[in-house]
Structure 1
Amino acid sequence: MSQPASKRSRSESISTDRGRAQTVSSKGSESTSDWDANSAAYKAVNYPTILETKGCFMRRSSAGPIPEDIAFCERLLQQPTETPHGTLFNDEYVQDFHDSLQNRSQACLLVDLHPLLIPSAENQFIQGKEYLKNVIDGYNDPWVKTEPIYGPKPQPDHARGLKWSTFSESQRRKLGIKPYAKSLYAVRDDMYFPYLTAEIKCGNQALEFADRPNMHSMCIALRAIVSLSQVAGCPEKVHRRILGFSISHELNSLGIYAYYPEVDDGKTSYFRWPVAQFNTWKEDKWACYRFVENLDREFLPLHTDRLMQFLEDVPDPEDYPFSVDVDDDSQALPISWQERSGLRRATSSQGRGLQPELRMMVQTMQQQLKKQEKLLTEQKEREEKLLAEQREREEKLLAQLEQQRKEQNALQEKLLALLEQKIS
């Protein structure tokens, strides 16, 4: 069975709840404070309310996602897939396996249980699943390149996104991603546009405390896609569309959520749609594995294609002589008014780099120039067509006049001949 990718190796001291260190063995125990600086933000009673003030709602909207996406989620959950053999989920082992995980640490659940729910995409690729070649896993990796919406930077227990190599050099220029610089589109230098996050809790920790960081992480992930759609000039293509997923689980309970934006007159709000909630041991123990397998087979290509289509409509900075070479503390692509404030803090704190407003103006000018060039080309083609039609009409008219002249000359000659006959 796939284990967390070895290239994401963790030290003996593993953060189990946003920076909370613990000594780990395969059956480790926790010996840390529940209220370190990071986890305290997510455990605060008013955290969901603060998220709402920033346009992030841990609930469905009145409109909800489009019906096609709701049906798509149901298909991801129900569509049969092949499940692994010879695991601790086998009937002869499952009860002892469950008993062995009672009262164990979060790190223990990550090592022993989690791979049976969400296996490593990278390990699965090594085992022959070619459709995962562009996917990278992150385990407890802080999202160092992003600016949080509120509270600490996300640090999901498990996240999946696209490798940097998924994008061409031209596409990376369009995204403006540079080493050691903040970015809307990359959460780490090795992970762009995450589409799945997972959080694990243990003991008496409510799943709500896993849902909150998941909500934060996925809002940041969706913010990137919405921003790119705005730069491409087609935000309507992401309105009420499901763009990412999260999974929260502890030993017994598990919840799957989908996330979608609503874009209204330039303002973006993010909402959560419940896909499924169940007890792993009392119901179908392979339900989560099956969902993730279908997610990678069916949603991942849609996710990637959507990004590629948006990038086609974004101008390459090298195509314009007045393009700005954005420095390390800024980004090539503009962001929405609602989302600009977070990155402004990082930029202004360095005291250098273009302000987001100026970058937006430059990109807007580039887009307008491209549209003007297109309009001029179309106008020129129309004028040439009109001139050609006018020349054709003139030629037809001249031909008609010439024919009439010939007919008149012939008639005159005929009349003269008749007149001469009468005279003679």
Structure 2
Amino acid sequence: MAPTRAQARLGPEIHGDDQSPRAGVSDHCRKGRKRRRRNDRHRSTAKRVKVADQDASRKGRSEDGQPTGDRCLRSGDSKSDPIAFWAENNNWPEFFFDRNMDRLLARKKSVSSLGGRSRKRSQPSSAGSATPSYQEPREEKSARYRDVRYKEELRDNKSYMHDSDLGISDQSKELIKKLLSSEQHPPRDSSFSDSLFSRTCQSVVDRNKTRINRDITPEVVPSAEKLAHRGAHRLACLIESTNEGWSNSVPLTDPRPQPDYSVGFRREAFSNNQLEKMAPMIGNWIAGDQSKIMATYLIYFPFLSCEVKCGSTSLDEADRQNAHTATLAVRGVVELFLAVKRGREVDRRILAFSVSHNHSQVRLYGHYADLKDGDEKYYRHTIRTFDFTELDGKEKFTSYRFVKNVYEVWMPDHFAMICSAINQLSHYPNPEVASLQGSDLEGYSLSQSPSSSEKGNDQEDATPYTLFTGTGPAKKQRRRRGRGEGRGPLI
């Protein structure tokens, strides 16, 4: 039989004895559809490549898709919409990686170094004997400071227990004279009154540290909060701690500071706008993130620390503790001013104070940074050392007067200076930093934080439970795996 016209167009391959014309036509149609779809895909891909090349050339990209020049740094939308910038350039804007700001960013607590201990303590055999470090005797945690070689460890971290070659600035020299000479009224109902002074001093000889803290420390270092409660309203922005570990700070060495008394600014002292700008530096402060501008989770920018010793314990140990503590206090302010390019304002300027005392002797120090050659180093300036029991107590209120002047004369200007630097910070939308919004606090418990849930009973780096006790851990939301989950952004 002669082939039909359609069969003739299809070619001779379908005329075999074992193939019908209908089967050949159907098979050919399928092949034709596949060929058309393949060609459509090629044309679509070629069109997309052409459009992408046009966009790349228009945006300043090279042929391999990488940005050329500094176009991505000049993008006007990078700050207003960094997500769109990332989708457009496949990298984050340069301002996300401001090196001056990176030094100030909060740090997550390291759990890996404590994981082994926490797992061991979670076992039944050791759970009963595990003691949280905040309940351990203070002397055990200060053992490292007793070693005179700790001074060299501080030196390795650019902290020196003496003056720099240039010393403090002229402005700070005038400040010290003012703080020592400005008059202050002696405290009411003081144990250092003329009728009680001699008896008070005799009663604490050879007594323990707790007794000296109770009877002597309030006469040497007045309480900022008590002064505020009694009418010094300008001090309402201050908050103090007593024997609380600086768990939210980034220490120079181990162990982290735990001063007998310290003072800084409370969170409520700053405006909401300032807190938003500081958010990347603070991190998740409830969960225990470590920050260079915090001491405890309540204290921002600390500026005063006090260490107390008793009996035969050397005041040199207290000096070493204070050197570590005050270095952290100075570092926070210095890093802030470097971030806003105002480092010259804090160069060799006293930014923190410390007091070391026992039952009869007092040492007053000022702490500062020397930014010579762009390398910040931290130093200590001796203000006064004296025995307040000599000469019938002639110097008994010297330390009290000095510290109160720090609160009332020096602190307001210091706080205003810090606020001016914070106001210069731009909002820093670092994608790695999750802001802790008010809604997140609802139902939040310290037991949910890495500092407790992953450490078990080990609380070496956690401030004791005081405020934030929630209703229990929140339930995890069930994730639904949808179509396209796990795919990257479509560019």
TM-score by length of 2: 0.58
Kindly report which structure 2 residues correspond to 1:63-82, keeping only aligned pairs within 5 A, or say none: 63-82=166-185
Determine the C-alpha separation between the residues in 2 that align with 1:41 and 1:147.
18
- Partner SS, residue 328 of structure 2: helix
CA displacement, residues 201-254 of structure 1 (integer Å, 9 cap, x when unaligned)? 000111110001100001001110011011111111111111010000000110
The change in CA–CA distance for 1:323 and 1:149 in structure 2 (over 3 A counts) is closer
Kindly report which structure 2 residues correspond to 1:16-55, keeping only aligned pairs within 5 A, or say none: 21=137, 36=140, 38-55=141-158
Determine the C-alpha separation between the residues in 1 that align with 2:145 and 2:434.
33
CA displacement, residues 330-364 of structure 1 (integer Å, 9 cap, x when unaligned)? xxxxxxxxxxxxxxxx9xx99xxxxxxxxxxxxxx
- C-alpha deviation, 1:19, in angstroms: 6.9
Which range moved further: 292-301 or 262-271?
A: 262-271
Determine the C-alpha separation between the residues in 1 that align with 2:301 and 2:316.
24
- Partner SS, residue 295 of structure 2: strand
Determine the C-alpha separation between the residues in 2 that align with 1:266 and 1:114.
39
Determine the C-alpha separation between the residues in 2 that align with 1:117 and 1:193.
22
CA displacement, residues 280-306 of structure 1 (integer Å, 9 cap, x when unaligned)? 111410001100111111110121011
Indicate the residue corresponding to 1:296 in structure 2. 407
Indicate the residue corresponding to 1:311 in structure 2. 422
Q: Which has the higher contact order (CA 8 A, sep 6+)?
A: 2
Which one-letter code corresponds to 2:219 in the other structure? L
Q: Say whether 1:56 aligns with 2:172.
A: no
Contact kept in structure 2, 1:146 and 1:184, CA below 8 Å = yes
Kindly report which structure 2 residues correspond to 1:22-421, keeping only aligned pairs within 5 A, or say none: 36=140, 38-176=141-279, 177=282, 178-179=284-285, 180=287, 181-282=289-390, 283-317=394-428, 323-324=430-431, 326-327=433-434
Determine the C-alpha separation between the residues in 2 that align with 1:84 and 1:51.
37
Determine the C-alpha separation between the residues in 2 that align with 1:255 and 1:280.
11
Say what the alpha-carbon RMSD is for the aligned residues. Answer: 2.2
CA displacement, residues 307-332 of structure 1 (integer Å, 9 cap, x when unaligned)? 11111211023xxxx65351489xxx
- Partner SS, residue 91 of structure 1: coil
The change in CA–CA distance for 1:169 and 1:225 in structure 2 (over 3 A counts) is same
- Partner SS, residue 273 of structure 1: strand
The change in CA–CA distance for 1:264 and 1:327 in structure 2 (over 3 A counts) is farther
CA displacement, residues 54-113 of structure 1 (integer Å, 9 cap, x when unaligned)? 100000111001112112112201221111243221222211111111111111111111
Contact kept in structure 2, 1:159 and 1:197, CA below 8 Å = yes
Determine the C-alpha separation between the residues in 2 that align with 1:39 and 1:82.
35
- Partner SS, residue 186 of structure 1: coil
Determine the C-alpha separation between the residues in 2 that align with 1:292 and 1:18.
28
- Partner SS, residue 256 of structure 1: strand
Contact kept in structure 2, 1:241 and 1:261, CA below 8 Å = yes
Which one-letter code corresponds to 1:202 in the other structure? C
Structure 1 moving runs of 4+ over 3 Å: 17-20
TM-score by length of 1: 0.67
Which one-letter code corresponds to 1:315 in the other structure? S
Determine the C-alpha separation between the residues in 2 that align with 1:151 and 1:58.
18
Contact kept in structure 2, 1:19 and 1:39, CA below 8 Å = no
Which one-letter code corresponds to 1:326 in the other structure? V
Residue segments in structure 2 that go unaligned for 5+ positions in a row: 1-132, 437-450, 456-491
Which one-letter code corresponds to 1:84 in the other structure? P
- Partner SS, residue 376 of structure 2: strand
Residue segments in structure 1 that go unaligned for 5+ positions in a row: 1-16, 23-33, 330-345, 351-424
> How many residues align structurally?
299
- C-alpha deviation, 1:21, in angstroms: 2.5
Determine the C-alpha separation between the residues in 1 that align with 2:252 and 2:413.
26
Higher strand share: 1
Contact kept in structure 1, 2:245 and 2:258, CA below 8 Å = yes
Contact kept in structure 2, 1:74 and 1:275, CA below 8 Å = no
Q: Larger Rg: 1 or 2? A: 2
Determine the C-alpha separation between the residues in 2 that align with 1:200 and 1:323.
41
Which one-letter code corresponds to 1:266 in the other structure? G
- C-alpha deviation, 1:20, in angstroms: 5.5
